[in-house]
Structure 1
């Protein structure tokens, strides 16, 4: 983690300084800024490995900043929200955030979330690799997997729909790989939280639901079926 660069956008001076110190003690290099416009500027001039964005910051709010970042990059984004039940959580995830943490947050929880996201993105191991302790992964035998007009190349980490490339974020790709490994099998939200988000504890299933919605928009609304009360499955 020593070389991992974090962009932290937070307008509360106390929270910003305390969190920056905690991150630096854990070996991260931190760029901490108080507003969204400065955050976007620093993102472009000194691209980070991960971005922590508070939802309510001046100049450009965190959701808008996340959307701008996602237009330009697949760098992982964690949103910070003051209320667990806030619509801001869903808006942030819909804008392209990979996860969120509610404020006030415990430093250990934030560090765990950051490390989990970085593991998924390959900063601490092979990108899109097997789940820790899995003994296997979602890769095939070299041949692309085909589901109707959807083609998933698990070796080259490429997805095509109707022959056209589909741009997925690493989290979306991990999610699709889980479904591709077991087409027709219903995967629960809790299982997806554990396998894709690396949660060894209970998490907010809204994270799964929003990412499934985003994935559907890219691979076809009817390709992922909702099994009410149980989860989702990939239609083969």
Structure 2
């Protein structure tokens, strides 16, 4: 029987085989808590990447509640790592407080991944990472483009940026990936970096072009917000 993984958290779930959904058509129906946690984490990730923090946090709270019913720290740790990974993908570097509260009961692979997200993974622990991340963890900027999963790719780019190892090619790949997925929050973050680097390099025209893209992206966010507010009865 194959085990189906929720695509957006595949690269994190592989850390401990956690949050796996036995969704094979020939198998028994997954428990309700798995389905609820899966759906909430999907919506939480999507909302954050779109820039909707309110929905993101509400869904994260629901997912935490479902996972806590199992009494398993590794499941909760996986959700917290995913939560923090979306931040790194969007160039928001902050302590992963939710995971740190669970660190002592997390798996060795989960602890390694948390260190990776902080840009502080010891080289000898790189083998504990999901395979797509290993080359990027070693500072191989060229490995980012070869990562198939969009979120995983942005995480790898974010880690390299945090360590001061993100080349112009990595920045462009991150912009293209975020743009292709329609992920407003990380797109704005990576465009801002490109604009700043262009300014620092004396390329005013390129900096202006990037800021025009940012303005379009920000305008779309305001339009969606106004529509949402107006639709509330």
State TM-score, norm by structure 2: 0.26
- Higher strand proportion (structure 1 or 2): 1
- Higher helix proportion (structure 1 or 2): 2
State TM-score, norm by structure 1: 0.26
The structure whose RCO (Cα within 8 Å, separation 6+) is larger is 2
